[in-house]
Every structure is written in C-alpha cells, then in structure tokens.
Amino acid sequence: MSTAAVLGVDSSTQSCKVEVRELSTGRLLGRGSAPHPPAFPPCSEQQPREWVSAFVAAARAAMADCEQQLDVRAISVAAQCHGLVLLDERGEVLRAAKLWNDTTGSPNLARLVDRIGARRWVMRIGSLPTAAFTIAKLAWIAEHEPGLLDRVATLLLPHDYLTYWLTGERVTDRSDASGTGYFDAVAGQWITSYLDLAAGDRDWAGKLPNVLGPADAAGTVRPAPAAELGLGADVLVAAGGGDQHAAYLGLGLTDGDQYFSIGTSGVVATSSRGPVFDTTGAVDGVADMTGGYLPLMSTLNAARVSDRAAVLLGTDLGGLAELALAAGPTQGPVLVPFFDGERTPDRPDARGGLLDITSQTTREELARAFVEGPLLSLLSGRDSLRACGVELGGAATAVGGGARSRATLQLLADLLDDEVTLPDVDEATARGACIQAAAVAARTDRAGLIDLAKRWLPDARERVAPRAHGRDLAALRTRWASVAQAPILDNAGAR
C-alpha cells in the first residue's frame, strides 16, 4: 500500500535539497541533495538548467531514501530570492541567471534610487532595493546587453523557473515577488513604471508572472518532468516562495519570534500582520508565505566567514569552534565581515576589517572574532527592526549551516543574553515547502496553511543558554558599529 506524500524543494545558491514528508502527519520519509555550480560575487551567475538537473537528482535521491512506496500528491519549490531568469517566447532561457549575490548592478541601482527617490521607493514596496534586488540585475542587462531585451518574453525568479519547468505556468508568489523591487505587496500589484525606468518602455505587464496566493496551486506536473522525476500523474504544484520565507513557515514561528538564519547569507527576521516601512533602507519589509509580512535584514557574509577563518587559522570548522569557545574574557579583536562587499548596509565595494589586534592577541581570540563578526552584523539588523517598531519579544531560533556550530550558537546566546533554540530540523526551507505542498494537496486556504504549520511544529534539538563570560558586550557592539561605518572599508580596488 502506498503512502500519500509531498515533496518540498529548497533550491539554494549552493545546492538543491528535497524532502519527502507524509501528507497526513508531516513525518520525514526521505531526503536528498545535489550541488549547484559555485558562484561568487561580484559576477555571480548560474545556468537555470543546472537547477533542473540538481532538482531531478535530489528528488530521485529523496524518494529512493524512502522505505515506503510513495503516492506523491503535491510539490512546492522554495529557492534563493532576487535572481533574474529571462525566457524567450518559446520558454527557453536566454542567458545565465544573475543571482541575489551578484553585485554588478550596484551602479545601475544607485541611479534608479536617484530617479525614483529612496523614500518614495520604500513607501511603495516596503524596502529600499540594493544590488541584490532583481530590478538592479535587469537594469544591468539593459545597459550591457540591450539587444537581449528585445527577445525577452518572460521575467522569472529562480523558484518561478522551477515551477515553470514543472507546470508550464508562469507564476510566482507574494514573498518572492516582494523582493524584486517592482511589486507592491500591500496592493498586490506589479509596478511596471519602475521597470520602464530600469530597462526602457516595454510591455512589461505581459512579461511578468501571475502572483498566486499562499495556498493556491500553480498547476500540475507535466508528463515530461513527471517522467524525469519518477512521479505519477496529476501531482499538484504549489505557488512556492522565497527560501527564508519558507524556512520561517517550516519552523512554525509566529509574530515577534526572533529568527536568525546563518547560511550563505545571514538573515534576522520576524513576522507581522501589517506592512513595515523603513526609510533608512536597513529593513526589507517583504511579504511572507501566509498572507502577512516578514520584515527582515539580510547580510551577504555569513557562514562563509567561518569557512575562510578555518583556512587562515590552519584548522577545520570543528577546530575553529573549539578555539572560539576557548577565548578568554577579553573584548577584542573585532571583525567586520564585509568580505565580498555587503548588502546591509548597502556597500558592494566594501572589504572586511579586523581591528584591535595587539602583541598579546591569541588564536582563540581571532577565532572568536571571525565567528562573532557575522553575528554582530545580524544584531545590528535586529536593532534596525526594533527601530521600525517591529515587536521582537519572542524566543530566538537559529537555523542554517552556520548554526550547526556550537560556537555560533553559544556566542549568539551570549550576545543576546538570552536562550537560543536550535530546532530539530535539518532543512527548514524544504520543510516549509512541504507544509505549503501539503496545504495545496488538502485544498485548504490560508488559515488552513497556518494551522498546518502549527501542527507540524518541530521539537527543539538543543537549547543554549548565555554564559557568565565577563565581557562588556555593550562596549563590544559599540566598537563594532563604529568600525563597520568606517569609510576605509570601501575599497573598490582591493583584491
């Protein structure tokens, strides 16, 4: 007898991960993954066909990992936000997709901010776009590859493209659309006039995907993709969403909870029922996957900082964590981790800074600075959220590859002076996609989606309390903030 199941997909910058969960209970049945080609700023690009290949490999591995015979009822795809996929009138990809961490469009974005006006842009879409946003990438194409635009029939985001490959439907959702720079999530409308400013007057409305609701179905899997994936007929496909938005849904978090994601990028977020507008540009007031909003601050440099630190200190990630936890009650040194430029603050040409080194500085203190630097960036973002009036009184939850480090969890608890929970979830984004897929399979509505997320609430794998560390953390944060603002970090000519 077959088991009714759903597939949740997380197509991130680095890989595609797929989970198979039982439709009735949310029980994990199997998982699989496959890598994506590496991509790094400033010109960070990937071929969408590579996403499809990784998706097929990961899905087949996940289903092979299941002991039961499966009856897959629905799929949802969550993916890296902001990327730009251009299709011609036949639905063929015209060029490699520019990814969220591609910073080549920074000058184009700056000119757009001057033309539209920073405050006006924020008050229209809830965010002040940076080079990460889709509109910056389109503006770059218009300047450097203008002839290509004559052949463009459709503009999609990464998760939209995989949904399109599955169904043939050109659709998106509020969460991912709200990170383009040209979607008003409150009104539920594309802003084609902004696309005119970015890339010239065209029939943009005819090139944009339909925006679906949280529990809407995009369609069913077409026969050819179904055969590649090893699926049966009539498998529903959900609207999908952005990766961080799906992770928040997958963890069953609610308004006011503190969400820290430490992966390729770093994110601090919470959810709210009403929109948030930050005219300083630090907070993105994007939509979530349940019909509300997910105000967040995102950084470019997170887990990769520890990867680089391990190399520089001649150890591995486990050794780095041991060194960092063994550091004494000293204040410094202080690391500002703008290694590959930074998204928030919007400084694409910035470089990292390591200060307050003395002749007494130890390897342990250096290791702590490298682990602590990205966390201090996220705490700065939490300050920005609070300055917008966002409630952040709930529990702190940490996810992502970087959160698997004991040092990261402990130092985050120390900096917050509060307990941090590591949920018993290996892939929060894929889990959230499974929840949306299950809601679509059950043909429920937005309220049913939220109830389902609560029923599938994960247990805590670990809870980490703050230590009695003897450090003046207020002074440390003040010092970090002063260094992070230093103009000397902006050096476009640095290697």
Q: Name the residues annotated as catalytic.
A: 243
Going by C-alpha positions, the residue among 345, 277, 274 that lies closest to residue 126 is: 277
The per-residue DSSP string of 45-71 comes to: EE-HHHHHHHHHHHHHHHHHT-SS-EE
Tell me which residue has tokens 């590959």: 340
Provide the sign of the torsion angle of the four alpha carbons 420, 426, 432, 438, taken in this order.
Answer: negative
* Structure-token pair, residue 344: 């928030």
Buried b (16+ CB within 10 A) or exposed e, 39-68: bebbebbbebebbbebbbbbbbbbbeebee
Residue 404: helix, strand or coil by DSSP? helix
Buried b (16+ CB within 10 A) or exposed e, 292-306: bbbbbbbbbbbbbbb
Q: How far apart are CA 341 and CA 46, in angstroms?
A: 20
Residue 8: helix, strand or coil by DSSP? strand
Contact 463, 419 (CB under 8 A): yes
Contact 377, 301 (CB under 8 A): yes
Q: How far apart are CA 4 and CA 21, in angstroms?
A: 9
DSSP letter assigned to residue 395: -
427: left (phi over 0), alpha (psi -120 to 50) or beta: beta
Whole-number Cα distances in Å, 63 to 58, 205, 208, 227: 9, 39, 33, 14
- What phi, psi does 136 have (nearest 5°)? -65, -35
Tell me which residue has tokens 């937005």: 446
The per-residue DSSP string of 114-167 comes to: HHH-HHHHHHHHSS---TTSHHHHHHHHHHH-GGGGGG--EEE-HHHHHHHHHH
Q: How far apart are CA 246 and CA 253, in angstroms?
A: 11
* Residues β-bridged to residue 17: 10, 33
Whole-number Cα distances in Å, 44 to 107, 110, 132: 16, 19, 11
Residue 315: helix, strand or coil by DSSP? coil
Q: How far apart are CA 332 and CA 354, in angstroms?
A: 10
